[in-house]
Structure 1
Amino acid sequence: MIAATKPMFDWMPSNQDELAAQLHQRVAEASFPCVGAKAALAKGTLEVLAARDLTSAWDDLRIHDRLLHFAAAYRAKPELYRSLAVVFDTPLALSEAEFERLLWTRVQSLSDKDVWRGQHYDDSVSADPDDPHFSLSFGGEAFFVVGLHPNASRPARRFPNPVMVFNLHDQFEILRAQGKYERMREKIMVRDEAIAGSRNPMLQRHGEASEARQYSGRAVDADWRCPFHYKGAE
């Protein structure tokens, strides 16, 4: 396992601060529905990593490196409301279907690097995207991804740049154990309905349906199949 030390790829593009400030401002908006993201922002635990291009693997090693250290830091000090948001500089004109395809291309590349670097899959979740207990795994920790982009149909998923927000699955389990998960989930759904006019039909509880259907934010039908395939040992 990777220790919670200084990341190997410890440099930032010139627009790092600008993109981080823009995302923080978006989360801070009164209408933004995700109270978990707001809590992370208030605690200073909403990390932002700027990257070049969602269509390119250029930054994938740097992103994966940050995921490994994010996971290791969480194991060293488990605490609620920690998120890692990767904000891409381009492209800015994507349809929902294009964003979904590119998001899963990046996910597949990052997962392949996890295998290449000898990381085991978190055994508390499934690596099969058709399984109701599916989550991604990086550095031995399960992650749930939330995608944002300019042309998302759900207002809550809109942001001027493409974004992939990595949330630790274990945090949801802690909230369940504390009896807080259902209240928090309902609060988010009510706030989302207030700005969208309807509840998000893609939102399901872990274990009821595969969370893969929620990642991109696009409403998918029953025939949709996730393109992700874990290439390590099951």
Structure 2
Amino acid sequence: MHDHVAEAAFPCVGAKAALARGTLDVLAARDLTSAWDDLRIHDRLLHFAVAYREKPALFRSLAVVFEGPGDLSEPQFERLLWDRVQSLSDKDVWRGQRYDDSVSPDPDDPHFSLSFGGEAFFVVGLHPHASRPARRFPNPVMVFNLHDQFEILRAQGKYEGMREKIMVRDEALAGSRNPMLARHGEASEARQYSGRVVDDAWQCPFHYKGDA
């Protein structure tokens, strides 16, 4: 994972900054099709949320790298990513964690984000057969990014510059800008998680089962 982010062509400057600062955590998991490691992943997310509250810092990410499967189509990867998200969210409810009240649990809401341990997270999916080159990786991966970091960058006046830099680098890699990228509050970020291009009729399969 670290070598992939370090490649010169990799467009996400935020991930590169996390790598440079030693704040890109990697967790190995067994299979994206299985709930086998979900409790262990949720444990790490809770620890990640607590550590961030104790010492807030920009460019912290948790990458969960699964052993397989390596032959998933984009729709298959998308379905399995949301299966894991649903399972992790259900564990958050089961463990009595509050939903971050700075975001919405409704995936149709433009202010939607996931919440684990009381902190909002944005997920980026990677896999071998992603149509966008920036989303390709030899294994299925779910990268959890703290939503609060984007708000800090906005408050510092750095968000738009970083976003444009990422989009320019992605365009150089893919030949076009990613049509799914949208600012938080303009469209639900749920449409961006898997990396697949979806139309306006797309319905997010996630349902928060707690009391937000």
| 2:20 pairs with 1:71 | no
Tell me how far 1:222 sits from its aligned partner. 0.5
**1:180 maps to which residue?**
158
Paired residue total: 212
**1:99 maps to which residue?**
77
Tell me how far 1:167 sits from its aligned partner. 0.1
* Structure 2: gaps (5+ residues): none
Provide the C-alpha distance between the structure 2 equivalents of 1:146 and 1:90, rounded to a whole number of angstroms. 17
* Structure 1: gaps (5+ residues): 1-22
TM-score, normalised via structure 1 length = 0.90
**2:21 maps to which residue?**
43
2:72 partner SS = coil
1:81 aligned partner, one-letter code? F
Tell me how far 1:93 sits from its aligned partner. 0.3
Provide the C-alpha distance between the structure 1 equivalents of 2:87 and 2:160, rounded to a whole number of angstroms. 33
2:35 partner SS = coil
| 2:102 pairs with 1:133 | no
**1:230 maps to which residue?**
208
**1:165 maps to which residue?**
143
**1:61 maps to which residue?**
39
Provide the C-alpha distance between the structure 2 equivalents of 1:152 and 1:25, rounded to a whole number of angstroms. 19
| 2:100 pairs with 1:83 | no
TM-score, normalised via structure 2 length = 1.00
1:226 partner SS = coil
**2:185 maps to which residue?**
207
Provide the C-alpha distance between the structure 2 equivalents of 1:100 and 1:154, rounded to a whole number of angstroms. 14
% identity of equivalent residues: 86
1:153 partner SS = coil
Post-superposition CA distance 1:38-96 (Å, at most 9, x none): 00000000000000000000000000000000000000000000000000001000000
Provide the C-alpha distance between the structure 2 equivalents of 1:221 and 1:81, rounded to a whole number of angstroms. 30
CA RMSD of aligned residues (A): 0.3
**Structure 1 segments (4+ residues) deviating >3 Å:** none
Provide the C-alpha distance between the structure 2 equivalents of 1:202 and 1:130, rounded to a whole number of angstroms. 15
Provide the C-alpha distance between the structure 2 equivalents of 1:25 and 1:100, rounded to a whole number of angstroms. 24
2:35 aligned partner, one-letter code? A
Aligned with residue 89 of structure 2, among 103, 111, 124: 111
**2:122 maps to which residue?**
144
Tell me how far 1:209 sits from its aligned partner. 0.1
Tell me how far 1:194 sits from its aligned partner. 0.2
2:132 aligned partner, one-letter code? R
Tell me how far 1:178 sits from its aligned partner. 0.2
Post-superposition CA distance 1:20-41 (Å, at most 9, x none): xxx0000000000000000000
1:152 aligned partner, one-letter code? A
Tell me how far 1:153 sits from its aligned partner. 0.1
1:84 partner SS = strand
Tell me how far 1:172 sits from its aligned partner. 0.1
